[in-house]
Amino acid sequence: MSVQATARITAVPDGRGATALPVLESSGPLALRRTRSPLAPYARVTVVGAMTAPLGGDRLAIAADIGDGARLTVDAAAATVALPGAAQDAGPATYDVRLTVGEGAELRWLPEQLVSAYGSELRMTTRAELAASARLVLREEQILGRHGETTGTLTTRLTVRRAGRPLLDQQLAYGPGAPGGWDGGAVLGGHRAVGQLLVVDPDFEEACPEPRLLSPTAALTRLAGPAVLVTAVAADARLLRGVLDEALRVLTARD
């Protein structure tokens, strides 16, 4: 039996220089926990998997509304593993993330890896609406297959709008049924881990990092706005995280 669940987060300033969480609503396999933040004055929410998901046919969603002036980090306790459903005709699972970040607000969206297990089919969409003075750090990591197995079918789409205008809109697809060439030398080149780090910062209006290679398989690119996108592939999750963590450290050094 498929699961439908939507978890919700609302963050607002508490009037004392910190951030309150008036809405922290768990649902189904998406359990939300307020955890201690090592980065003041951010509040922190950790997503804990309360059951195995997503399976074929599941419909999962998380909505986060970061009010004007609030600061929030959202991370996860463990990787998310997309698995095939028990029913042959369950269809693909979906996982929708909706982020809204207000004026002067900051969101660090840093989930753990998404693992596409053999036989699974997942369609994931992430949409972010940012105010003109909002800051966003968003990391995505996909691991194509568990150890010793080939990947499932995975389609992801990331759409970001800033001050009502498009900033980034991209779609990636891997596995059976994906457009040809996804595993070729021009795309993955035999690598099993792929990720990206998006940093949107109004300070980049004045001084934006220069485009450059960060490693033989990672690059930093400027976007048409105060934002940069780091894209990387690697042999495994550990190597991928190392590249993205170093990029995050450099790009957010003001913190």
Residue 140 tokens, joined: 């995505």
CB burial of 194-221 (b: ≥16 within 10 Å; e: otherwise) equals: bbbbbbbbbebeeeebeeeebeebbebe
Q: What pLDDT is attached to residue 87?
A: 64
Does pLDDT of 72 surpass 90? yes
| Residue type at position 153 | T
Q: What pLDDT is attached to residue 40?
A: 75
- Residues 188-206: tens digit of each pLDDT: 888 999 999 999 999 999 9
Q: Taking Cα atoms as reference points, which of 91, 86, 151, 156 lies closest to residue 127?
A: 156
pTM metric for this prediction = 0.94
Q: What pLDDT is attached to residue 176?
A: 92
- Residues 47-57: tens digit of each pLDDT: 998 777 899 99
Cα–Cα distance, 242 to 116 (Å, whole number): 20
Does pLDDT of 255 surpass 60? no
Q: What is the mean pLDDT of the chain?
A: 93
Q: What pLDDT is attached to residue 52?
A: 78
- Residues 205-222: tens digit of each pLDDT: 999 999 999 999 999 999
Query: Span 227-253, mean pLDDT?
Result: 95
Residue 127 tokens, joined: 């949409």
Query: Span 31-48, mean pLDDT?
Result: 92
Phi and psi (nearest 5°) for 243?
A: -65, -45
Cis bond upstream, residue 41 (ω within 30): yes
- Which of helix, strand or coil describes residue 243? helix
Size of the chain in residues: 255
Q: Indicate the burial class of 68 (C-beta count within 10 angstroms; 0-12, 13-18, 19 or more).
A: middle
Phi and psi (nearest 5°) for 140?
A: -130, 135
Q: Give whole-number Cα distances, 138 to 77, 159, 240, in Å.
A: 17, 12, 15
- Residues 242-254: tens digit of each pLDDT: 999 999 999 987 6
Position 187 confidence tier, pLDDT thresholds 50, 70, 90: confident
CB atoms within 10 A of CB 83: 21
Query: Span 70-77, mean pLDDT?
Result: 97
Q: What pLDDT is attached to residue 177?
A: 87
Q: What pLDDT is attached to residue 49?
A: 85
- Residues 151-168: tens digit of each pLDDT: 999 999 999 999 999 999
Cis bond upstream, residue 54 (ω within 30): yes
Q: What pLDDT is attached to residue 223?
A: 96
Judge whether 159 and 128 are in contact, CB under 8 Å: yes
Q: What pLDDT is attached to residue 51?
A: 75
∠ at Cα 251 (250, 255), nearest 5°?
85
Rg (CA), the chain: 18
